[in-house]
Every structure is written in C-alpha cells, then in structure tokens.
C-alpha cells in the first residue's frame, strides 16, 4: 500500500479571525488650554507657594527689600537693644512665635547695609550683583551727550566701561521705540528693581570696582624663573616673564594710577587737568584714525551683495608665482620653531 500523508499541522492561508489589532483603552489626557491652572504654569507656581511658603518660615519683605527662600528670621539681624528670646517669651496673646520674630527684624539696618542678597540656600558665598537705577542710566546718557568719553564717564561714576557702553546703546533703542510708539515693559523693570539690589544715583556713586584685572589663561600655569637674590622682582618683571603687558597698563583705567602718582608728587590740580585733557585728545585722535582706516579698507574695491553673502572685490596683481599657486607652508622645514613663543 502506498504510504499515507500526514495532515498539515498549520494552515497555509491565514484565517481572517487572527488578523486583529489592539488599541489603547486608557482615557486620553485633556488638551491644556491657555491660562489653565496646571502645575507647569504661573498659576500652579502661585498655588505651590501659597501652600509651601508658610512651612518655609520665610519672613515677609518690608521696605522694598528682596527676601529669598534661603533667609529665615533667625538669620536676619534684630533691632539694636532687643533680645530675641525675651521678645518671643513676652509676646502678646494671640501673636505667634513667627510674628514675634518678624517684628524685631532690623529692616532699616538691612537696607542701609545693602541687604542680604544670597538667593541660593546651598551657596551662601554667591551674592546677587546690584543693578543701576533709572536715574543712574539717565545720568550716563546726559554725560554722553555732553561729549564725554566712555572712559571718563566710567571713572566718574565708578561703573565699568562695558556697562556704560551697554546703557548708551540700550537707551538709544528705548528712544527709538518711544518714537515708534512701541510699548515698553516698565512693569518688568519695576519688578526686577524690587527683587535685585539697586544702586541709586548719588554725586559720588560706588556701583562696582572698575580696576579689576581679567585673569589671563597663561597665568594659570606655574612658571619657575631663576632670579638673583639682590634683584627686586616687580610686577613688570613678572609680566615680561609671562609675555604679557604690565598690570598698570592692562587694567581698564590705567590713567587713575598716573593721577595717584601725580597726587603723591604734589602736582597742582591745574596741571593734572591739563594732562588729562591732553590724554583724552590723544585717545580721540587715535580712535578717529582707526575709524578712518577701517572706512578706507571697507570702501576699497567693489562690493557685490547677494542674498546670503557680501563679496568685497579688490584689485590684485597676480604676476608672481606665489600669488598664482600659493606659498608652501613651513611646517616640515627643519630648524623652524613651531611652538608658540608669545601670548596672543
């Protein structure tokens, strides 16, 4: 008899009942609309602070002094002549210990000493940098309109030259916006001034230090130099060893050192004013010459502007071989010093 064939264990054609697809049965999240009170919006933050702030034991601010979450009534100074323990123990009925502690805080003293501006609880060494007031900015613009240089304004108001230049540019932008009837965000300015330490304008303001030197990367490495014992090693010798300019020249206001030296030498005020005016004229002349050279360099040749680039075509003589094929590099030449020998 011929052998019997076994029936197939699986069907070659797929059954229509096996072709199924599963879908998610979870309820879809509702789409968040604008101004909806959720945890990720401003309203959610306000709700969080209203629930959490009473447990943080943070005093309520007074006299427009910012109070950060890192401050507590115990860390703030008390009024002179008051005892914190005695004031808390002898408080009136119905007054909590927190209210009694807040009543003896010396807010006037904090305001006179510049406030306690440490916004980060785990970094008490960080202090918020003060900002200049509106009157301070207007005074900078007035002195600029009086044809005073940025360096002179910075020296007179104890404000860095970068900050003075930024204030002048931003005030010019603000003036243009006022002419164009564009809205100004004055509310945000007032809020920032209430949260940050503010430097008001005074006849002799002390906003920040203007004689700080930036740390050059080449000064971070150690340098061993042999010098004789009888030699007086000064800052000038150190700068020569590092390949830098002396600190008296690199500082932003090197003219203040010369003024102090003239004071110690007994030079009269008239001579000091004369020297200062000559120095300003010399600086203005150098700035003017530099601007003229830049204008001549930019104006030379033909300028072709496209949608993405600006080509400056200048006449050049390609008669020599180097102009046509380029000059070979000196990287593989023997005896050529390839390491940097000076600080850029």
Residues 6+ apart with CB under 8 A from 215: none
* pLDDT at residue number 220: 83
pLDDT tier, 87 (very low <50, low <70, confident <90, very high otherwise): confident
* DSSP secondary structure code for residue 149 in this structure: -
* pLDDT at residue number 284: 86
* pLDDT at residue number 197: 79
Residues 6+ apart with CB under 8 A from 325: none
Token reading at 330: 């000196």
Whole-angstrom distance, CA of residue 333 vs CA of residue 344 = 24
Whole-angstrom distance, CA of residue 255 vs CA of residue 244 = 19
CA torsion 231→232→238→243, rounded to 10°?
-50
pTM of the entire predicted model? 0.60
* pLDDT at residue number 176: 94
Whole-angstrom distance, CA of residue 344 vs CA of residue 341 = 10
- Please report, in angstroms and rounded to a whole number, the separation of the first and last CA atoms in the chain: 101
φ, ψ of residue 261 to 5 degrees: the values are -65, -40
Using one digit for the tens of pLDDT, what is the confidence trace for 293-318?
988 877 777 888 888 888 888 777 66
* pLDDT at residue number 143: 92
Q: What is the per-residue burial (b if ≥16 Cβ within 10 Å, else e) of 222-233?
A: eeeeeeeeeeee
Looking at every residue in the chain, the average pLDDT score rounds to: 77
Token reading at 74: 């115990």
Using one digit for the tens of pLDDT, what is the confidence trace for 251-268?
888 888 888 889 898 888
Token reading at 21: 């697809």
Whole-angstrom distance, CA of residue 236 vs CA of residue 143 = 35
* DSSP secondary structure code for residue 230 in this structure: T
Mean pLDDT of 46-59: 67
pLDDT tier, 54 (very low <50, low <70, confident <90, very high otherwise): low
Whole-angstrom distance, CA of residue 163 vs CA of residue 167 = 6
């Amino acid at each position: 008899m011929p052998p019997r064939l076994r029936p197939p264990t699986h069907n070659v054609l797929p059954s229509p009942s096996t072709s199924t697809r599963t879908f998610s049965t979870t309820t879809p999240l509702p789409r968040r609309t604008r101004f909806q009170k959720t945890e990720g919006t401003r309203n959610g933050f306000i709700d969080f602070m209203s629930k959490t702030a009473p447990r943080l034991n943070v005093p309520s601010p007074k006299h427009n002094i910012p109070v950060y979450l890192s401050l507590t009534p115990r860390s703030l100074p008390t009024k002179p002549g008051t005892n914190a323990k005695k004031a808390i123990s002898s408080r009136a009925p119905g007054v909590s210990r927190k209210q009694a502690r807040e009543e003896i805080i010396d807010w006037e003293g904090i305001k006179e000493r510049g406030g306690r501006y440490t916004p980060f609880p785990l970094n008490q060494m960080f202090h918020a940098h003060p900002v200049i007031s509106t009157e301070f900015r207007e005074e900078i613009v007035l002195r600029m309109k009086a044809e005073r240089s940025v360096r002179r304004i910075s020296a007179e108001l104890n404000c860095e030259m970068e900050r003075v230049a930024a204030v002048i540019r931003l005030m010019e932008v603000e003036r243009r916006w006022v002419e164009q009837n564009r809205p100004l965000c004055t509310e945000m300015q007032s809020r920032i001034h209430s949260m940050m330490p503010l430097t008001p304008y005074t006849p002799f303001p002390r906003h920040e230090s203007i004689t700080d030197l930036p740390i050059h990367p080449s000064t971070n490495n150690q340098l061993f130099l042999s010098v004789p014992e009888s030699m007086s090693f000064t800052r000038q010798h150190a700068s020569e060893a590092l390949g830098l300019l002396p600190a008296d020249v690199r500082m932003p206001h090197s003219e203040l050192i010369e003024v102090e030296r003239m004071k110690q030498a007994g030079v009269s005020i008239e001579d000091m004013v004369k020297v200062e005016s000559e120095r300003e004229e010399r600086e203005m002349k150098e700035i003017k010459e530099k601007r003229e050279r830049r204008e001549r360099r930019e104006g030379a040749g033909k300028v072709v502007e496209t949608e993405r680039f600006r080509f400056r075509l200048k006449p050049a003589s390609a008669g020599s071989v180097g102009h046509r094929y380029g000059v070979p590099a000196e990287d593989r030449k023997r005896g050529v010093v390839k390491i940097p020998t000076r600080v850029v």
